[in-house]
Each structure stands twice: as structure tokens, then as C-alpha cells.
Amino acid sequence: MAEQFVGKASEFKDGDRQIVRIGEQEIGIFKHEGEFYAYSNFCLHQGGPACEGLTIARVEERLRPDKTSMGLHFTNDMNFVCPWHGYEYDMKTGEHVSNRKLKLRKYEIVQKGNDVYVVA
Amino acid sequence: MSSPKSAKSPKATTSAKAGKAVVKSAAAPRSKAADGEVFAGEDKVNFVKAIWEGVPSKEAKTSGGSKSRVEETKKGKSGKDKPKADKAKADKAKADKAKVGKAKSGKSGSDAAPKVEILRKMSAPVRVEARQTPESDAALALVATLEAKFDAGELDVLTPEATQALVGVICRIYGANQESGNKYSLLSGRAAISGTDAMITCSALLKAVDLQVFELGMWQSWSGI
């Protein structure tokens, strides 16, 4: 495992993404709320480009005490969605939102000054 | 040599073999040099990669060649073996990119030559800053009040007359903005409504102005909206 330079931090705006190939691995690097996250770009479902789809806030259905619905609401947590079949992953953990046992491989990000490295 | 009986009855294979057969059939369109030995006992990552990249031929395995999604897409779906000249050209281009990566990496501290290849950069969606008006602020405050009461179960928070007036003025404002070129989405990401809500409201709007769904379809195809 070595640190691989992937870009300058100043080149990433909040919400930007970059897909890189390091050896045989494809990695999606996200900048979200000032933090960097890096995940394998191979969807756990059928190997689609998991990190290249829509980024969307998580939808929750709020319930009243009697369990009747108060409707669907977006939360402040952001997810990204595989464009092939809609597998949705948590931006901060890489976990599949409806089955937390499924998790994209997460890569460590090291920031040295303005340089961003992925440990892969 | 397998017996003719087993060759003719794929259903008789074990589940592991059946799984392998699925992999081969899925990978076949991408790589015609699929061999049956590759997937025995391999983990899910390799399974997924094989689905995506195709099963590498023995030649590709020895040369360490691995094609990316992007490269495959760009080169089309021919699936034919490349001439050696093309392969050499691709190797040279790869080496050049590696050099660029090395130059960029500068003080990475790693002894190994960097192998990073940037495939795509995807920018965050551009957000247009709209002019803030006192009416907008008042509308947002009203929406917050209405949502809170509605969430608390108060369905009659608005009278039918008030609802009609609000929907009417929003339709006019939104339609005029769209036609004048100031295009934006009717709902923001945060205002989640269900598909059922949307269909009920759309149906009621069409009914209120005496339009049929086929007329909406015709208008959409003519106007391109």
C-alpha cells in the first residue's frame, strides 16, 4: 500500500468527484462538506461504476406515533447512487443504505498541505 | 473426457459449476478468450471484475493487460483481438501517462513509480444564485409553518380556497419563468414529494383546465419540453 498522488486539494470544489485508476483498481474520490472520501468504483451489485452516478440526499419516511406516514423527506446525509441499477451508498461510510453489511471498499485519503493522496 | 451424458445435461452440474457457467456466459460478449479455470475459488471482487472486464485470455494474463471500462467503451464493442502494433501503441501511451503522473507526484515519498491515471473529473452541479426578494422570504417562512402543521397531522391547515389561490399563482409564476428562459426545476432536492402526490396534483391540474393526458403528450412532443 502506497500513497498515490491524485490531485491538489484546491482543485476540488465541494461536491466534485474524480475517478482514477491505480493499477487494476478504479477509485472514486469525493469531496463532500470539506472532507475527502475514496471508494472502489466497482458496484457490489454487478460491478457498475458505483461512484459515477447521482449524488442525492437520503430519503426518509417519517412516521407519526401511530405509525401513519408523515411523508417522504430528504435528510442532510448525502448518498451516491450507482447509475446502472440504483444501488445507493452512504457518502461517509460507503455502506449500502438498505443493507449496512454491504460496503464498498474504502480507501484512506491523506492530505499533505495542498496535495491529496490515496493509500492504495 | 467427460461422458456424453454429462455434456448434454447442464442441469446436472453442481451449484458451483452453475455459478461458473453464469460467469462465463456474462463475460463472453466482452472477451471471447474465456477459459473455465479463472473463477474457481476466487472472491467477489474478482467475480465483479470478471463480469465487467471479461475473463482475460492467457496471453493477456502474462502481459498483465487489463482494459478499463472507458477504454472498452471508446474502442467500441468489436471484441476482436487487437493487432500487436495497436497494443504496443497503447503500452507506449500508458508509459507516457505514467511519466506525467510521476512528474505530478513530486514529493509523494513513495519509491514505486506512481500508477495513477485520472479517468474522469466530475464537477459539482452549478448552483445559480437567485435574487432574494422579501416575498420569497415570506413564502419560505409560510412553507415552514405549513409543513410543520401538516407533519403534525393537521390536514386542513389550508382551506380549499387558499390552496387553489396558491397553486394558481405558483403555476402562473413558474410557467412565465420557464417561457421567458429562466428555467429551473419545480421542486428542489429538499422538497420531497411522493410519486403519488405528483400524479394526484398533475391529474387535478389537467382536469382543472380541461386537458386530457394525450393533449399533454402531444404538446410535449411538439414543444420539446
**pLDDT digits 0-9 by tens, B191-206:** 667 888 889 999 999 9
pLDDT digits (tens, 9 = 90+) for B149-162: 988 888 899 999 99
**Count of CB atoms situated within 10 Å of the CB of B179:** 10
CATH number where A80 lies: 2.102.10.10
Q: Which residues of chain A have pLDDT under 50?
A: none
Nearest residue on chain A to B105, alpha-carbon basis:
A5
Chain A residues with CB within 8 Å of chain B CB: 2-7, 13-24, 26, 42-44, 46-49, 52, 56-57, 59, 62, 64, 70-74, 105, 115, 117-118
pLDDT at B107: 44
pLDDT at B73: 45
Indicate whether B194 belongs to any domain. yes
> Chain A residues with CB inside 8 Å of B116's CB?
4-6, 20-22, 118
Rg of chain A (C-alpha set): 16
Cβ contact B123–A24 (<8 Å): no
Indicate whether B19 belongs to any domain. yes
Number of domains, chain A: 1
Indicate whether B131 belongs to any domain. no
Taking the C-alpha atoms of residue A73 and residue B123, their distance in angstroms, rounded to an integer, is 26
pLDDT, averaged across chain B: 68
Number of domains, chain B: 2
Indicate whether B166 belongs to any domain. no
Indicate whether B28 belongs to any domain. yes
- Collect contacts of B30-36 with beta carbons under 8 A, ≥24 apart: B30/B54, B30/B72, B30/B79, B31/B55, B31/B56, B31/B57, B31/B79, B32/B79, B33/B57, B33/B58, B33/B59, B33/B60
Q: Which of A116, A112, A90 is nearest to A103 (CA)?
A: A90
Last residue of a domain, one of B53, B79, B105: B79
Beta bridge partners of residue A117, listed in sequence order: A5, A110
Provide, rounded to the nearest whole percent, the portion of chain B with pLDDT above 90.
Answer: 22
- B147 close to A (CB below 8 A): no
> Which of B104, B110, B192 shows the shortest C-beta gap to A73?
B192
Indicate whether B143 belongs to any domain. no
A75 within 8 A of A64, measured Cβ to Cβ: no
pLDDT at A50: 94
Indicate whether B158 belongs to any domain. no
> Which of A4, A6, A19 shows the shortest C-beta gap to B120?
A19
pLDDT digits (tens, 9 = 90+) for B94-113: 655 554 444 444 444 445 55
pLDDT at A51: 94
In which band, very low, low, confident or very high, does the pLDDT at B89 lie, cut at 50, 70 and 90? low
Cβ contact B109–A42 (<8 Å): no
> Range of A30's domain?
3-119
> Range of B195's domain?
188-225
Taking the C-alpha atoms of residue A6 and residue A18, their distance in angstroms, rounded to an integer, is 9
Torsion of Cα atoms, A80 then A75 then A61 then B148, to 10°: -160
Indicate whether B213 belongs to any domain. yes
Q: Which of residues 155-184 of B touch A (CB under 8 A)?
A: none
